[in-house]
Structure 1
């Protein structure tokens, strides 16, 4: 197995995973909803999410790992109850993948692994790349032929950033980064040069 860089506190990562052998992860609308619900339960306690996009057989996340202090919580079980535990980001992602895979296998009467064995991740080493990577993730449905207009695609974080409804996204950080909703929209309308972030892009053919 190839070495995977660790997920370090305070660092930003582009995280990617897909269905094993390219199989579907999402079959119907309720799968997307269930995915985000379980993501909120297992992953939100350890990561701030800046952007995401869910597509038939894969997904993209742009996240920042929370500090150890933020990831420390009271242990509810097993005993000794009341002691503190610091949640591990990679382990939480593993719990999330297993929970989702078990539910999909049960519902659609499939067996075996659902996700690739190890999720791909790349550290965002320059703040200047952050805006372009968010744009890239939101426009991924166009790249893969799901739509001709990324603003029509319902399973990305783009519309959540423009909304004022409650969200698990770190919307405040992203909007401040772009300079507000209008500036975020203006940036997404423009054609971006993805070559400058090619080292941060993760895709499988």
Structure 2
């Protein structure tokens, strides 16, 4: 999922929506991902993606980057279209796959943009009901495998499932702005922690295991720094704040490691700081830092552990 910068619209007309759908199709071909469901909302979009090659980050960078280039070229604009890095949640397929599909397909209905998912022209539900109209890149067979072998009956069963009220706990989890890193049962979560987090045996994604690491929003990081350093946001985010200010240096480092922002995104949040100023601070990392720095780090680690 990704949202427009400052919650601004990411589409200006219907053609823009088809432009993003075209980019989805290209990403399937280029990165061999599987797109099971999508929903295009006025200022954000949702995707249910499977990555057999473990390349989620590359695929999403392509989608957001290429669509932004095309949008900017069409409207003669420049700059970011999206707020930054996408949000993702790792899903246990057998237990939660259908629930996430339902959540995505019901987005427009819940937002009261349309009266039902079957009437949403910018979500994949219509293509499940009318597969002859579906784009070649939309993977529908996995969803239908959970229903009747007869195609027509499977479509009817799936539609009834989608419009049925979801379990309260699942709906609350997916509707919460702060998603957990993992959506699954205790056994699945333990396996993920053991295999991919604690033992660091192999990545879940390339080049980094970002789906599990991109947990904290920039505001969450900055708020902890302000609280623990007893400072003011203006002293951290002001364009002319001192580079020797450890709270400001900590902000650069932790936005990079806990929010996974690029140097450009960090610079924009800190009043226009350049790549050349941020890069050496992040490379130096924990060297010569005070106990307050490590207190912030410990608190951020606690917030991440709470989400897992």
Q: TM-score, normalised by structure 2?
A: 0.51
Q: State the distance in 1 between where 2:123 and 2:67 align.
A: 18
Per-residue deviation at 1:172?
1.1
Per-residue deviation at 1:142?
1.9
Q: State the distance in 2 between where 1:57 and 1:18 align.
A: 6
Q: Does 1:186 align with 2:166?
A: no
Deviations for 1:38-95, whole angstroms, at most 9, x for unmatched residues?
A: 1111245332111110011001111111236xxxxxxxxxxxxxxxxxxx33123212
Number of equivalent positions: 170
Q: 8 Å contact 1:47–1:64 — kept in the other structure?
A: yes
Q: Which runs of 5+ in 2 are unaligned?
A: 149-153, 179-308
Q: Which runs of 4+ in 1 moved over 6 A?
A: none
Q: Does 1:102 align with 2:69?
A: yes
Larger relative strand fraction: 1
Q: 8 Å contact 2:36–2:48 — kept in the other structure?
A: yes
Q: 8 Å contact 2:3–2:44 — kept in the other structure?
A: yes
Matched residue SS, 1:177: coil
Q: 8 Å contact 2:39–2:45 — kept in the other structure?
A: yes
Q: 8 Å contact 1:62–1:134 — kept in the other structure?
A: yes
Matched residue SS, 1:121: coil
Tell me the residue number matched to 2:141.
Answer: 172
Q: 8 Å contact 2:106–2:163 — kept in the other structure?
A: no
Q: Does 1:40 align with 2:14?
A: no
Structure 1 residues 202 and 118: CA distance shift in structure 2, 3 A: farther
> RCO greater where, 1 or 2, for CA within 8 Å and sep 6 or more?
1
Tell me the residue number matched to 2:11.
Answer: 26
